[in-house]
Amino acid sequence: MTLNLIVWRQKGPNAPGKFETYTAKGITEHHSFLEMLDVVNEDLIKSGKEPIQFDHDCREGICGMCSQVINGMPHGGQERTTVCQLHMRKFKDGDTIYIEPWRATAFPLVRDLVVDREALDKIVQAGGYTSCHTGGVADGNAILIPKPAADEAMDAAECIGCGACVAGCPNSAAMLFTGAKVSQLAILPQGKAEAAERVTNMVNAMKDCGFGNCTNHYECQAACPKGINVKFIARMNREYLKSLF
């Protein structure tokens, strides 16, 4: 197929940005979205132009590195799919596709489609851990965890930290991301001791990083490639309220 791409190009955070139009030729339904961009980039390089810069690494939907808004939707809007796992069979010959970076104050643009998501690391650094030391911990089976709790913690732990929830949110809130981490550790006995301190610190870090607040649009859940449920935001709010008493 042949596709018409309209891509956001911007040299750096302070440089002016604009949409450029490119044609992707010879694309098959088996190409992944990023492989389609590889083809376009090869053409650009050959004609002496600078290729489109975009973040990616695993190309398996697990590292959370890829980050593109496609036709207005983070990761392209296919349910539970990252850009790297989006395949061209979802598009038709002759389609026009808009490609943009994540946009949020807390995610400054680096170049083209690449943004800086260090703010998500800052939130985790504020308390997204159990303060255990290396070595000197109890036997793994000394802490019994009922299967439903282990499963629910795992549901929350599936977050890949991509930031699509932020990009999809009209308020640029990072509450789905933070809620997932807070919940994972709050559900497990190991995380309980520090639960109150953790949620306070992580919520404060969200504010400090410049993320907005949740006003229940559910866009985050719709954008999330891992199907993280908004119930974890509710759980975080509950943990936060609990921490006040």
Query: Among 27, 180, 195, 202, which residue sits at the site for ligand SF4 (rule: CB under 6 A)?
Result: 180
Instruction: Check residue 55 for interaction with another protein (CB under 8 A).
Output: yes
The contacts of residue 34 (CB under 8 Å, 6+ apart) are 54, 56, 59, 66, 83, 84
Least distance to ligand SF4 from the beta carbon of 136, Å?
32
Selected from 37, 40, 64, 74, the binder of ligand FES by CB under 6 A is 64
Using CB under 6 A, which of the segments 82-90, 100-108, 140-148, 182-190 binds ligand FES? 82-90
Element (H, E) at 7: strand 3-10
Structure tokens at 201: 């610190």
Interacting partner of 66 out of another protein, ligand FES, ligand SF4, none (Cβ under 5 to 8 A depending on kind): ligand FES
Shortest approach of ligand FES to residue 85 CB, angstroms? 7
* Alpha helices for the chain (secondary structure H): 33-46, 118-125, 147-157, 164-168, 175-187, 189-192, 195-209, 219-223, 231-243
| Assigned token pair, 124 | 């985790």
Q: Decide: is 163 part of the binding site for ligand SF4 (CB under 6 A).
A: yes
Looking at residue 142, the DSSP 8-state letter turns out to be G
Token readout for 162 is 């991509």
**Contacting residue, 28, 96, 105, 204, with another protein by CB under 8 A:** 28
DSSP character for 88?
G
* From ligand FES, another protein, ligand SF4, none, interface partner of 53 (C-beta below 5 to 8 A by class): another protein
- Minimum CB–partner distance for residue 164 and another protein (Å): 15
Give the footprint of ligand FES on this chain (CB under 6 A): 56-59, 61-66, 82-84
